[in-house]
């Protein structure tokens, strides 16, 4: 059975060999938190992510001379019966793989909003944290967009219904019908909002 590693303060020996007393306390380890250099990103690729802890929507577009083109869209579904920490770990692993495949220049994440249910707000916040950290670790520019702002940018109405947003997403991407499920369409709406706003780093 493998043994664990014991960390001692500098200069401390085993118990009874100069180890600090309870009154003296112990010196904790300081570990520098740094990111590994990410892989090069693909200029003009924008990934939208609709975060959650049960379903995560994603949608990627690529900017071309003819306008934005669909790269791919879908959802990430962690194990439904798993506890929250396990679901978050599964989402992180799946996102890391997705980001590694797409290497987007920009990742647009739905911004936190006031929720009536406190528990739901906490869960969404946990999911957002995973997405934000994964995107940053991948070397992407991270942009946060509020749901109402995305609706306003695409439809002209911050209170627009999801079906209206989905229809506009399909129209902008030249699709006969919106991608399914709506979580994926919402994610594409986030990516397209970034494009519509003209905040495209590859234009600078």
CATH of the domain at 62: 3.30.420.10
Residues 6+ away with beta carbon under 8 Å from 122: none
Q: Which residue in the block uniquely carries the two structure tokens 């528990």?
A: 119
Does residue 90 form part of some domain? yes
pTM: 0.81
**Does 123 fall in a domain?**
yes
- pLDDT of 17 higher than 90: no
Can you give the C-alpha Rg of the chain in angstroms?
A: 22
Q: How many domains does the chain have?
A: 1
Strands 104-110 and 56-64: unpaired
In a domain, 135, yes or no: yes
Give the residues across from 58 on adjacent strands. 49, 74
Say if residue 7's pLDDT is above 70: no
Residue 155 belongs to some domain of the structure: yes
Q: Is residue 25 part of a domain?
A: no
> Residue by residue, what is the 3-state secondary structure of 119-131?
HHHHHHHHHHHHH
CB 82 within 8 A of CB 69: no
In degrees rounded to 5, what are phi and psi of residue 178? -65, 150
Residues 167-178: tens digit of each pLDDT: 999 999 999 999
Enumerate the active-site residues: 50, 110, 183
Write the CA distances from 69 to 169, 173, 195, 199, 202, integer angstroms: 11, 6, 11, 17, 16
| Rounded Cα–Cα distance for residues 99 and 90 (Å) | 14
The answer as to whether 7 is a domain residue is no
12 lies in some domain = no
What residues make up the domain containing 89? 42-203
- Spatial CB neighbours of 192, under 8 Å, sequence gap ≥ 6: 48, 61, 68, 153, 154, 169, 172, 173
Query: Angle, nearest 10°, between helix axes 162-172 and 182-196?
Result: 60
Cα 164–167–168 angle (5° rounding)? 90
Tens-place pLDDT, residues 108-148: 999 876 666 777 778 889 999 999 999 999 999 999 999 99
pLDDT, tens only, 183-202: 999 999 999 999 998 744 44
32 located within any domain: no
């Amino acid at each position: 059975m493998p043994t664990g590693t014991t960390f001692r303060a500098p200069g401390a020996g085993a118990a009874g060999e100069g180890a600090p007393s309870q009154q003296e306390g112990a010196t904790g380890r300081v570990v520098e938190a740094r990111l590994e250099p990410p892989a090069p990103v693909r200029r003009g690729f924008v990934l939208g992510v609709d975060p959650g802890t049960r379903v995560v929507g994603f949608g990627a577009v690529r900017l071309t001379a003819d306008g934005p083109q669909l790269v791919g869209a879908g959802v990430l579904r962690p194990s439904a019966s798993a506890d929250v920490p396990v679901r978050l770990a599964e989402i992180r692993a799946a996102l890391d793989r997705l980001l590694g495949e797409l290497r987007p220049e920009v990742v647009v994440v739905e911004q936190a909003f006031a929720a009536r249910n406190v528990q739901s707000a906490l869960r969404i916040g946990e999911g957002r944290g995973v997405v934000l950290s994964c995107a940053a670790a991948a070397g992407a520019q991270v942009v946060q967009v509020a749901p109402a702002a995305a609706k306003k940018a695409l439809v002209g109405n911050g209170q627009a219904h999801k079906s209206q947003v989905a229809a506009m997403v399909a129209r902008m991407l030249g699709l006969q019908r919106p991608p399914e499920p709506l979580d994926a369409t919402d994610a594409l709406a986030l990516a397209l909002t970034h494009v519509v706003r003209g905040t495209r780093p590859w234009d600078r």
